[in-house]
């Protein structure tokens, strides 16, 4: 083969490799374009969203049913308001609960929806009233250390002179 033909094939191979790396990077970062399926929005309010981010998945029974499309602070009540965009094929009852969960020990945070028993479904723009905030590891450790210190102080014998 001629040198120019080999150079052409090497260049083509490198270009395909770079395109594959770019695609995988966008896929991992959840920046790939979403499908044009019919969707509807719901709103959930949380005291603390932890590290939840826009475009985080919304899952029900482990299945991705939508994405977080917006996060904002309600300046009147000082709670975080997350707007969820869900695929229209997944309908949830009015007593559905939402909680912020973590995939694995240090994985990404997502919103988990648990179906309720109400026969009526949520409509677009409705608010999910049953929510559980994110479990913040630092707060959990702080509570553990405080209770450990209090227990140690109660168990220590009183010194008298």
Q: What is the pLDDT of residues 28-78, one digit of tens each?
A: 765 555 556 799 999 999 998 988 999 999 999 989 999 999 999 999 999
Q: Which residue has tokens 């409509």?
A: 123
Assess whether pLDDT exceeds 70 at residue 159: no
pTM, two decimals, is 0.68
How much of the chain exceeds pLDDT 90, in percent?
A: 53
Residue-averaged pLDDT of the chain? 86
pLDDT in tens, 121-144: 999 999 998 998 887 777 778 888
Assess whether pLDDT exceeds 90 at residue 161: no
Which residues contact residue 158 at a Cβ distance below 8 angstroms, ignoring those fewer than 6 apart? none
Assess whether pLDDT exceeds 70 at residue 156: no
């Amino acid at each position: 083969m001629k040198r120019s033909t080999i150079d052409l094939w090497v260049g083509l191979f490198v270009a395909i490799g770079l395109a594959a790396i770019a695609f995988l990077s966008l896929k991992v970062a959840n920046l790939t374009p979403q499908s044009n399926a019919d969707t509807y929005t719901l709103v959930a309010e949380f005291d603390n969203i932890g590290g939840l981010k826009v475009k985080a998945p919304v899952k029900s029974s482990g299945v991705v049913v939508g994405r977080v499309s917006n996060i904002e602070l309600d300046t009147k009540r000082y709670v975080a308001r997350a707007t969820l965009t869900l695929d229209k094929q997944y309908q949830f009852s009015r007593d559905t609960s939402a909680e912020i969960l973590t995939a694995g020990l240090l994985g990404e945070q997502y919103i988990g929806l648990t179906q309720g028993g109400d026969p009526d479904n949520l409509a677009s723009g409705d608010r999910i009233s049953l929510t559980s905030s994110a479990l913040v590891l630092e707060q959990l450790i702080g509570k553990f250390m405080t209770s450990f210190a209090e227990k140690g102080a109660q168990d220590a014998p009183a010194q008298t002179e």
